[in-house]
Amino acid sequence: MASSHPGPFKGTLKYQSENVSRSLRSNGKVYSNRDSTGTDSPPVGVEQIEVSVSVESGRKEGEERPRIHREGFELLPSVCPDMDLFDDSVILEQYYPHVETLLKEKLGAAHVFAFDHNLRSSSKGSWMHKTSSSSEEDGKGEGDKNAERLKGGNLVQSPVAVVHGDLTLTSAPRRLEMLAEAPRENDTLRRKLGDAPLISADLVNEAVSGKRRFACVNVWRSVGEGVVKVSPLAMCDCRSVGDGDLVTFEVRYSDRTGENYLAGHSEGHRWTVDLTMFNLSCLSRTCLHIPPNKLELDLRIFPEMNRDEVVLLKCWDSEGDFAKKNQTDSQGGGFAEPFSTFALHSAIELTDTSPAPDAPARKSLEVRTVVIF
């Protein structure tokens, strides 16, 4: 659908400063504690810097369109199912199977297991996200009794406004192994499965040992109302990220430790941004390219997406180039072109297109899955 959008726009992304030690595996210096409600304590070892970005207009077509196997993310048409996506039980019992079927058909996987989800709203704040509409008290306490919750009790989370990846060399296989164990205190599926594992130990062992390829994929969808211009999602082409850009960040739970990657800024990073991705009526997609000799980020807008679309965001792939290079026991697939392991991503704040005071908050639902081939 043809359309023209004004530009350029300006915005900012939050990276880690040069003072934050880079690492592919944990060094214990960068971490945060997370309670049973999903609330994070102030982080240790994090020092953020804001990088200015410029947004232009344009949409890629054909082979230049971002693909999950190449850049690490992809836009797909997907009719939004007629169900209450603000109800935890509905998400678990009805939406999880919908997502599993979608990914199995798209990716040609043997097995897909949805295991977690988050409802995010830009009206919520945390150390990773502050907006003009979020309270300074949001995210500070251990389970805020007045916090917004889904039906069923889970907290509504804030968008994450720090450049990050959801899994690491250590946490990706460990997260898969945990799905063959009894669910932990923070696991969404605990209320449904009790002490039963989600995936058989035999299947997990085949994946972790390299006999099968496994991936972790997030499926993002709008669940808000109106045209939302607050905290759109930015995604980075995995081919533009170097090992030396990454910072291992520990998430310390009461019964386990997870890991994410944070990142330092690089002139070579190439981003894609959804300016109004999380809308019911009008969604926009942008692509950011940074020439090697240019520090300021240059983004391009892909207009006129609609609510019946999802973005697939790869959080890990055991046969991705980064995973194969850094794990000696990995068995690669010998792909002819660069193959993605994960995509860095972040909410982004636009600085010269401020939303109206009554603009609705961004509300988005993400479902995390394990895909086994």
| Positions of E strands within the chain | 9-16, 31-33, 48-57, 73-77, 111-121, 164-165, 214-222, 233-236, 246-252, 257-263, 271-274, 283-289, 297-305, 309-317, 345-347, 349-350, 363-372
More confident residue, 331 or 345: 345
In the prediction, which pLDDT does 213 show? Answer: 98
Give the residue-averaged pLDDT of 159-177: 94
Q: What is the pTM of this model?
A: 0.82
Residue 143 has pLDDT above 50, yes or no: no
Residue 255 has pLDDT above 60, yes or no: yes
Q: Which of 9-23, 121-135, 298-312 has the lowest mean pLDDT?
A: 121-135
Q: At 123, is the pLDDT very low, low, confident or very high (cuts 50, 70, 90)?
A: low
Give the residue-averaged pLDDT of 94-123: 93
Q: Whole-angstrom Cα distance, residue 188 to residue 113?
A: 13
State the number of CA atoms in the 13 A half-sphere of 329 facing the CB: 10
Q: Is 363 exposed, middle or buried (0-12, 13-18, 19+ CB in 10 A)?
A: buried
**Percentage of the chain exceeding pLDDT 70:** 70
Sign of CA dihedral 69, 349, 8, 285: positive
Residue 227 has pLDDT above 70, yes or no: no
Tell me the pLDDT of the chain averaged across its residues.
Answer: 78
Q: For residue 202, which amino acid is it? A: D
Q: At 80, is the pLDDT very low, low, confident or very high (cuts 50, 70, 90)?
A: confident
The pLDDT tens digits of the residues spanning 180-214 come to 999 988 888 998 999 999 999 999 999 999 999 99
More confident residue, 135 or 255: 255
Q: Most confidently modeled of 6-10, 121-125, 163-167?
A: 163-167
**Percentage of the chain exceeding pLDDT 90:** 46
Residue 9 has pLDDT above 90, yes or no: no
More confident residue, 141 or 309: 309
Residue 316 has pLDDT above 80, yes or no: yes
Q: Most confidently modeled of 22-36, 61-75, 139-153, 213-227?
A: 22-36
Residue 118 has pLDDT above 50, yes or no: yes
